Structure 1
Amino acid sequence: MNFYTNNDSLLLTILKIWTFLLIVLVGTNAQAQDHDRARTNVGLVYPLSSNWTNAPRDTNSFSLNLIAGVSAAERGVTIAGFSNIIHKDARGFQIAGFSNHVGKNADGTMVAGFLNTYGGGHGVAVAGFANIAASSSGAQIAGFLNKGGNVSTLQLAGFMNIARDNKGTQIAGFMNVAKKSKGTQIGFINIADSAGTQIGIVNVAKNGEKSLGATFDQNQTALLTFRSGGKVFYGIVGIGYNFKNKKQKYAYEAGFGAHVLTIQSFRLNTELVNDGLESFKGGDEYWRSTFRLMPSFRIANKVEIFAGPSINYVNTNTEEGREMTKKYINSWTRHDGRDLYGFYLGYTAGIQVAL
């Protein structure tokens, strides 16, 4: 059989090959297999396949569909140009250009350009947009969203992870949400009714710590801050005002902290934050990275005071920024002295109220 001529397009050539395979495989399956099990399925789109209208009742060890395939179960490799629809269980490897849908358990690997949905299972689901499962004991990796009921291993998403019960690790570019989390949540915002370990800028949990405070440093920068987290790690976010400058006077900060020692009403905290001063005029820069050692004392039921030294690295290109600090451990300039870089010692003091 000659599949290709000079007048044929690539699409027509593919269709000719596919038609030939269908004719061969239909004949083979009709003679060698019953409707309860089909070892191999090749098709265009249901019901135009070697399993014909029996496809929803068949279990395949290999399935290849140009557009979309339908089956009861899969036990090997399942490939579709657009979508795989599997009513019961799937084991092995499923790959689709757009989506994979498994009605019950998926044990193996699923890769889809857009979406994977499945009841549960052990394995890896990778999707360009979202993975949605009733429960997950494997890794879900998605460009935007992972949603699972009971999650016991890893969810990794570019934007958000959602779980009912999380016993594993949720890592998201923006937000993690769980009703009950005994594992770890890592993201910009972490939310749970009850939480294990939360590592983020904003952490909200009923069994966690949250406090609203005010700080002041050697540069006359005052900030209203929100600290939130658990027994060890917490996040910091703040906005405020610099009383020394006339132009770069609007302040902000964000970072992480850790309670390294707790003895009754005394705690020793360490914090690593990035902050800056803004004039909202293009080209003006004052950026600082700070490590703080922060002893704190609880002086009332919900009131805590703290103060301690800091080591700071600063980068600025403005006159106000260069004049803000007089003594440096080490400093240097670039671009004819316009850009200043340096390390210096400072302090931070403040008070906060537990919420």
Structure 2
Amino acid sequence: MNFNLYQDSILLTILKIWTFFLIVFTSTNIYAQNKERPRTNVGLVYPLSSNWTSAPRDTNNFSLNLIAGVSAAERGVSLAGFANIVHNDASGVQVAGFSNHIGKIANGAMFAGFINTYGGGKGVAVAGFSNISGNGSGAQIAGFLNKGGDISSVQVAGFMNMAREMKGTQIAGFMNLAKKVKGAQISFINIADSAGTQIGIINLAKNGEKGLAATIDEHQTTLLTLRSGGKVLYGIIGIGYNFSNKKEKYAWEAGIGAHVLTIQSFRLNTELVSSGLESFKGEDYTKSSFRLMPAFKITRSVELFGGPSFNFVNTNNPEGQKLTEHYVSSWRRNNGRDLYGFYFGYTAGIQVLF
């Protein structure tokens, strides 16, 4: 079989099918125009479509474009291989391989391989990279970034969410940023002028609490830590130094805590923390801890705290294995090189609140 003739035959077949659709939908548009009904638009890319050069002024109830479609408004389903461009409002479903651009209000659902941009609306916007909008109520879900004005509902992003006023929940892989939040921010870093609930490692809000603390534990690990959050939940992050070891001596910790009881100058805190010691030479020492920490304010901005901890340790270096002498339970693997164990310890410190 001649391969070139075979290719030509396939292309001719596709052309015939596409011509058939153009004829059918063009006829439908003529009928719809006479009856003053919304149009159906089928094409390749503007102006090569059944709506021809009038496409930017037309309102459609169905659009199908192999590359990109242009219209004044959409009232149903819009499908494009690359982009949908709607100058005014859109309702229904817009699906594009790369982007959807709605000039004004979008009510319904938008799905784009890369980006959705729209003035506002109600519904769901899902993009592989970013959603950018004005005011709206609905869900924005993006692989990298969501950016909006006044948003009511949910923003979910792989990296970052931004909003002026958020009534709902922001969930991001790295950072949430908003001016005013009536709801929750959940991320590694949460920043707001005023916030409801912030769940993260670093939480910064004008109506929140921040404290810089110096702590020490049963292994002589001394840390400088930032505790930040709201009335109940707060995040913990710190770096420091271990004075018992010669190699595994650089320390870190991160976790979350909760003020479970507050009575005047007394607070009872609980914390879940992961920490470790590093020599940066390949050996590991990691510890997961649950802490029960009573705290007393000795002045308005200075607090003393300390209490017991229950710890699980995993280490494969000799210094780490020597730090703890008594375990509740322990075991070894890899011919004794890896040590796992549970034991009781303590943490104490002083914190300056600001």
The two structures share one fold, judged by TM-score above 0.5: yes
1:327 is displaced (CA, Å) by: 0.5
Q: State the percentage of identical aligned residues.
A: 73
Alignment partners' CA distance in 2, 1:209 and 1:107:
39
1:103 is displaced (CA, Å) by: 1.2
1:76 is displaced (CA, Å) by: 1.1
Question: Partner residue of 1:82?
Answer: 82
Q: Structure 1 pair 18/300, CA: closer, same or farther in 2 (3 Å)? A: same
Q: Structure 1 pair 225/35, CA: closer, same or farther in 2 (3 Å)? A: farther
**Equivalent pair of 2:98/2:114 in contact (CA under 8 Å):** yes
1:27 is displaced (CA, Å) by: 3.5
1:28 is displaced (CA, Å) by: 3.7
**Equivalent pair of 1:35/1:58 in contact (CA under 8 Å):** no
Question: Partner residue of 2:294?
Answer: 295
Aligned letter for 1:122? K
1:8 is displaced (CA, Å) by: 2.1
SS in 2 for 1:108: strand
Q: Structure 1 pair 280/217, CA: closer, same or farther in 2 (3 Å)? A: same
Aligned letter for 2:88? K
SS in 2 for 1:131: strand
- The 5-angstrom pairing of residues 98-117 of structure 1 reads 98-117=98-117
Alignment partners' CA distance in 1, 2:22 and 2:276:
66
Alignment partners' CA distance in 1, 2:215 and 2:330:
26
Q: Structure 1 pair 7/252, CA: closer, same or farther in 2 (3 Å)? A: closer
Alignment partners' CA distance in 2, 1:27 and 1:165:
48
Alignment partners' CA distance in 1, 2:94 and 2:148:
19
- The 5-angstrom pairing of residues 128-147 of structure 1 reads 128-147=128-147
Aligned letter for 2:244? K
1:289 is displaced (CA, Å) by: 0.3
Aligned letter for 1:339? D
Q: Structure 1 pair 12/318, CA: closer, same or farther in 2 (3 Å)? A: farther
Question: Partner residue of 1:328?
Answer: 327
- Would you identify which runs of 4 or more consecutive aligned residues in structure 1 move more than 6 Å? none
Question: Partner residue of 1:56?
Answer: 56
Per-residue Cα deviation, 1:34-86 (whole angstroms, up to 9, x for no partner): 59654311000111111111111211111100000011111111100000011
**Equivalent pair of 2:101/2:117 in contact (CA under 8 Å):** yes
TM-score normalized by the length of structure 1: 0.96
**Equivalent pair of 1:38/1:51 in contact (CA under 8 Å):** no
SS in 1 for 2:21: helix
- The 5-angstrom pairing of residues 1-355 of structure 1 reads 6-8=6-8, 13-34=13-34, 37-282=37-282, 284-355=283-354
Aligned CA RMSD, in angstroms, stands at: 1.5
1:32 is displaced (CA, Å) by: 4.3
1:221 is displaced (CA, Å) by: 0.3
Q: Structure 1 pair 241/32, CA: closer, same or farther in 2 (3 Å)? A: closer
Name stretches of at least 5 consecutive residues in structure 2 with no aligned partner: none
Alignment partners' CA distance in 1, 2:248 and 2:297:
34
Per-residue Cα deviation, 1:161-186 (whole angstroms, up to 9, x for no partner): 00000111000000000011111000
SS in 2 for 1:152: strand
**Equivalent pair of 1:233/1:258 in contact (CA under 8 Å):** yes
1:9 is displaced (CA, Å) by: 6.7
TM-score normalized by the length of structure 2: 0.96
1:139 is displaced (CA, Å) by: 0.6
1:254 is displaced (CA, Å) by: 0.4
**Equivalent pair of 1:96/1:113 in contact (CA under 8 Å):** yes
Alignment partners' CA distance in 1, 2:133 and 2:347:
47
**Equivalent pair of 2:209/2:353 in contact (CA under 8 Å):** yes
Aligned letter for 2:255? G
Alignment partners' CA distance in 2, 1:226 and 1:12:
68
Q: Structure 1 pair 144/219, CA: closer, same or farther in 2 (3 Å)? A: same
Name stretches of at least 5 consecutive residues in structure 1 with no aligned partner: none
Per-residue Cα deviation, 1:135-155 (whole angstroms, up to 9, x for no partner): 231110000000010111000
Alignment partners' CA distance in 2, 1:48 and 1:311:
70
Per-residue Cα deviation, 1:246-288 (whole angstroms, up to 9, x for no partner): 1100000000000000000000000001000000102x00000
SS in 2 for 1:245: coil
**Equivalent pair of 1:37/1:58 in contact (CA under 8 Å):** no
Alignment partners' CA distance in 2, 1:30 and 1:23:
11
